[in-house]
Amino acid sequence: MNRLRIKTILIFIFIFILSKTVIAHGWHDETHLAIAKAAKYSKWYSAVGADMAKIKAGSTEPYNHYFDNTNNSEITPEMVSSQINRYNKPGDVEGHLYGAIIASLREYQKTVQAGKYPEYHIAFCAHYIGDLSQPCHNTPYDDFNKTHHTINDGVVENEVLKNIGYIEKNMYPINLRPDHFEEDLSREIVRIANISRKLGLKLRTENRDMTKGEAYIQIGHSASLFKAVLKYLGKID
């Protein structure tokens, strides 16, 4: 009888943990690739690496891809700063997407200074900046999010690599000053995160998924920011 009770309790605990686990999907592969390609990243084909890493780094990598904004709070620069040191932190179920963008670029600079191959950190950054424009990665991971997440990840997946020109039409200049790089980058992260958050709330209110037009506008935000980062790094003119 005692063994049965213990077994029942353990099963309950396991189910409870699963119910609290946040699974970060993100745009599907070709959408991430298209964002990097539209930004003129020469190694655009590496932009899916962060999702591939989840297979073997499941305890750390997923939390870099989203922010579970349970209070629907306005994103601020202070929130971005508070997440930087949580990069790759296992078990941070709230997520720290915004800080991961800056932290991955810090890792790039450290790797350059160490004389090692640094490009993988840019590829991770490309992926995180892509996730920044996905509304479901900036809103609560509630029942609506769980039901609609996969559909919204793939809303343009089957066509997006054929429509790089259309993404480019939705892009715009972003200026990241070399002497105020992280400050300006944080400001842009906040701006795009709040655009994405507001769209996510609109989808909830109207109980629907993104249209293709909305998806391309969102993707344009990510591609614009990543292009600005590449320009700062001297990867493009």
Mean pLDDT of the residues in the chain: 92
Residue 34 corresponds to which tokens in the numbers above? 């298209």
pLDDT exceeds cutoff 60 at 4: no
Residue 179 corresponds to which tokens in the numbers above? 């002497």
Percent of the chain with pLDDT over 70: 89
pLDDT exceeds cutoff 50 at 12: no
- The residue type of 151 is I
Q: Average of pLDDT values for 102-121?
A: 98
Q: Give the separation between CA 60 and CA 63, rounded to whole angstroms.
A: 6
Give the chain's radius of gyration (CA, Å). Answer: 18
Q: What pLDDT does residue 142 have?
A: 96
Nearest to 155 by CA among 215, 207, 203, 220: 215
Q: Give the separation between CA 54 and CA 103, rounded to whole angstroms.
A: 18
Q: Give the separation between CA 17 and CA 168, rounded to whole angstroms.
A: 42
Q: Average of pLDDT values for 98-111?
A: 98
**Residue 136, Ramachandran bin (φ over 0: left; ψ between -120 and 50: alpha; else beta):** alpha
Q: What pLDDT does residue 57 have?
A: 84
35-62 per-position pLDDT tens digit:
999 999 999 999 999 999 999 888 899 9
- The answer to whether 32 and 48 have CB atoms below 8 angstroms apart is yes
Q: Give the separation between CA 139 and CA 132, rounded to whole angstroms.
A: 11
Q: Average of pLDDT values for 199-210?
A: 98
Set out the domains of the chain in order of their start, with CATH numbers: 23-233 (1.10.575.10)
pLDDT exceeds cutoff 80 at 3: no
Q: What pLDDT does residue 153 have?
A: 97
pLDDT exceeds cutoff 90 at 20: no
Lowest model confidence (mean pLDDT) among 13-27, 90-104, 148-162: 13-27
